[in-house]
Structure 1
Amino acid sequence: MTPAHGFGRSPTVEEVAGWNIDVVPDGTGLPIGHGTAAEGATVFAARCAACHGAKGEGVPVSGRGAFPRLVGGIGTLVDDVPIKTVGSYWPYATGVFDYIRRAMPLTAPGSLTSNEAYSLTAFILARNGIISENAVMDEKSLPGVSMPNRNGFFRSAQSQSPARPRSDRN
């Protein structure tokens, strides 16, 4: 297929398949693989701890805020200053896997294997007390993990109504 603007090229089927890696809350899109918290601890120490702290507690960055805390904060969302972490805020464990696989580590996003992403997900979930240290996370078990804030999100009436033009736009 010739590109409409005379430059570039259409992606191959293989290229599109490589980009089509989204995972939805019910687990659709999860790849074959597996991992445990113990395996994740090794990967975390090597690839994640420099930014997120040895135990996922976050790391302050002078003048730029901090790299995010990943553990703790469960039950704080009703506080004046909630602690938003994977354990306290994220509604689906499959979303944790998806984010890790796509965006981490910061210096080499998308470089983790499926087993490493499952292992890191297991490590973070176990550190938050959501799964046991011995649990094996894979494409079958991960969608069944119930996150503490799973029911904490809801659609507002505004988001359910059809979009309408705004009068302040030309």
Structure 2
Amino acid sequence: MVPILLSIALSLPGAAAAEPAGALGLGRRVTPEVIAAWDIDARPDGEGLPQGRGSVRDGAVLFAARCAGCHGGRGEGAAAEALAGGRGSLATAKPLRTVGSFWPYATTLFDYVRRAMPFDAPQSLTPDETYAVSAYVLHLNGLLTEEASLDASSLPKVLMPNRGGFTTDPRPDVPPAGR
């Protein structure tokens, strides 16, 4: 079975051009450029956020074009989860876990949008567009005014309503969140 799978894999376009990474001759060497393309995490303290800036107003336009089809015009949910609302619902029988009710850090929103959205074209938004969409979603949750803008300095300072709603892992070998 292995020889058959290997022959299929090697017959795929680009397989012959890949530089073997190990003794088995599979894969390719990982370069700093390849790692950099995937090393895009944004931590709670803002480490990893790129340069850029986006406003709530610009985010409203982008949200309407790229997000509303799945998340509803005001983030109320449609084919995909609701992004707004749910404040005060976490302790009820039917909690609504949204960006504004559940998520502890605004940087998590940026990180998720940057990596996985829009669903049909993940990682296609520029940093400015990602800041703008994040600003708009935070605005929908009553956390930013319509005149607000976000950048790498201001985003980590947004105080999320559920920031204190999580506990630290008590295991001594697990570093605290954000480190």
After TM superposition, the score normalised by the length of structure 2 is 0.82
Query: CA offset at residue 155 of structure 1?
Result: 2.9
RMSD across aligned positions (CA): 1.6
User: Which residue of the partner structure matches residue 68 of structure 1?
Assistant: 81
In the TM superposition, what whole-angstrom CA distance separates every residue of 1:103-161 from its partner, at most 9, and x where no partner exists? 0000111111000100000000011001111111000000100000000000355xx26
Look up the equivalent residue of 2:161 and give its one-letter code: P
Q: What are structure 1's unaligned runs of at least 5 residues?
A: 60-65, 164-170
User: Which residue of the partner structure matches residue 21 of structure 2?
Assistant: 3
User: Which residue of the partner structure matches residue 155 of structure 1?
Assistant: 168
From 40, 51, 66, the counterpart of 2:70: 51
User: Which residue of the partner structure matches residue 131 of structure 1?
Assistant: 144
Q: What are structure 2's unaligned runs of at least 5 residues?
A: 1-18, 175-179
Runs of 4+ in 1 over 3 A off after TM superposition: none
The reply on whether 1:116 has 2:129 as its aligned counterpart is yes
User: Which residue of the partner structure matches residue 83 of structure 1?
Assistant: 96
User: Which residue of the partner structure matches residue 21 of structure 1?
Assistant: 40
Larger radius of gyration: 2
What's the secondary structure of 2:150's corresponding residue?
Answer: strand
The count of aligned residue pairs is 155
Look up the equivalent residue of 1:96 and give its one-letter code: L
- The share of aligned pairs that are identical, in percent, is 51
After TM superposition, the score normalised by the length of structure 1 is 0.86
Query: CA offset at residue 2 of structure 1?
Result: 5.2
